[in-house]
Structure 1
Amino acid sequence: MIRRSGFILLLALLLVPTAQADPSAIQRGAYLFALGGCASCHTDSDNGGEPLAGGLAMPTPFGTFYTPNISADPQQGIGAWSNADFIRAMRRGISPEDEHYYPAFPYTAYSLMSDAELHDLKAYLDSQPASAVPSKAHQLNFPFRYRSLLALWKWLYLDGQRFSPDPNRSEQWNRGAYIVNGPGHCVECHSPRTLLGGLDSDHLLEGTPDGPDGETVPGLTAASNPEFGQWLDEDIQFALETGMMLNGDFFSGTMGKVVDNSTSQLSEADRAAIAVYLKSFAKPPQ
């Protein structure tokens, strides 16, 4: 009798339809996916990598990081993660196995996102094809291979606060601030780092010679980049949409991928908000 009851219960569980994500949540998550430029880092497109399977090498002064598989595969990707697992990773940089993630994964920026946004992003990722390609191990210099040291790093550089609008600024400016500092994480690439790899908060958006793949990343303030200080809002919007700069050249390298996978897919309103926010830093002091 017990065996029969157990069989009936198992059969009932198997016959219960799997809960499907709300299509509107997936659609919102797709936009957030583009906003964060996730495809640029988590698909090794130059080497024919599978979508979201990771494997992209990121050389840094601390060693080489490899982006992980974030596909819906339950073993090699994040398909088995709960929403709570995903939020903890995105906000606190902690894996489901309670290991610290390195800040090459910019959770300091993603921590500004709301629960609802992170739920939508997870719904979109879960809707994408799974890839069973294992994530590559990082190749880091001593002593950075010891993840326990990241507890101190987070104490110094991760406050875990959600985005808080500035009541003295316009709604458009605040939207731009949220994108640049949050999911778009522009500030992560366009700012210099301290010796420990944290953002130099005194020089945000002033550029750095130690950008992705050793590229020099230009500043986005008038003091650090007088040429950019001459750009108009519409120049910035056009560049983010098409990749064409004011001098007629096109973005290449990492920024070229950002345009392809992120900014060209954003709404005109969001590109305009980014421009308004950046121009508030680009204007020379009066």
Structure 2
Amino acid sequence: MLVIIRVTDGARDMKTVTTALAALAAIVATDPADAQDRLKRGEYLANIMDCGGCHTPGVFLGKPDQERYLAGSEVGFQIPGLGIFYPPNLTSDQETGLGSWSEAEIITAVRTGVRPDGRELAPAMPWRAYAALNDADAQALARYLKA
């Protein structure tokens, strides 16, 4: 993509340049190739962060159901004094997954261990390990989980 912006002088021209740059930024931000790259990055992060290692049915029984990847687990973690915690559905399902969560809410939960309703995530969730996730990677992960 080649962009040429002619600059003369005066405040009006500076406003034109600013408007042109803002339009260019919007075009670049919505580039489908960039969006695909971010989804691939999010998928990569979900894999290396081992989200499926807890949130995929059958994984704790030694037979992960990859057709239901990230759909939650039927086997829970028993934490003395707190109860049993079942890894929830991380798919984009509106009712049982993260479909009703915004990307910002997913990022907050991954980084701080706090759900949109203010409740803390289960103690087994290693959010502290993900707290330093940079913004681009956090957004890529959230976008992938919403896809």
Q: Percent identity?
A: 35
Per-residue deviation, 1:53: 1.6
Q: Bigger shift: 59-68 or 77-86?
A: 59-68
Q: Verify: 1:54 aligned to 2:72, yes or no.
A: yes
Q: Which runs of 5+ in 2 are unaligned?
A: 1-29
Q: Which runs of 5+ in 1 are unaligned?
A: 1-18, 128-286
SS at match of 2:93: coil
Per-residue deviation, 1:33: 0.9
Tell me: CA distance 1:30–1:58, structure 2 relative to 1, closer, same or farther (3 Å). Answer: same
Tell me: CA distance 1:110–1:85, structure 2 relative to 1, closer, same or farther (3 Å). Answer: same
Instruction: Give 1:75-154 correspondences, 5 Å limit.
Output: 75-127=95-147
Distance in 2, Cα, partners of 1:77 & 1:108: 22
TM-score normalised by structure 1 residue count: 0.35
Code of the aligned partner of 1:59: Q
SS at match of 1:103: coil
SS at match of 2:116: coil
Partner of 1:26: 39
Per-residue deviation, 1:32: 0.5
Q: CA RMSD in A?
A: 2.2
Code of the aligned partner of 1:51: Y
Instruction: Give 1:239-250 correspondences, 5 Å limit.
Output: none
Distance in 1, Cα, partners of 2:112 & 2:122: 11
Per-residue deviation, 1:92: 1.5
Q: How many residues align?
A: 109
Distance in 1, Cα, partners of 2:107 & 2:145: 13
Instruction: Give 1:5-20 correspondences, 5 Å limit.
Output: none
Code of the aligned partner of 1:103: P
Kept in 1, the 8 Å contact 2:103–2:146? The answer is no
Per-residue deviation, 1:48: 6.7
Per-residue deviation, 1:60: 3.3
Q: Deviations over 1:38-62 (max 9, x none)?
A: 1110012237763212123223334
Kept in 1, the 8 Å contact 2:101–2:116? The answer is yes
Tell me: CA distance 1:59–1:99, structure 2 relative to 1, closer, same or farther (3 Å). Answer: closer
Distance in 1, Cα, partners of 2:143 & 2:111: 17
Code of the aligned partner of 2:101: W
Which residue, out of 30, 50, 55, partners 1:42?
Answer: 55
TM-score normalised by structure 2 residue count: 0.65
Per-residue deviation, 1:102: 2.6
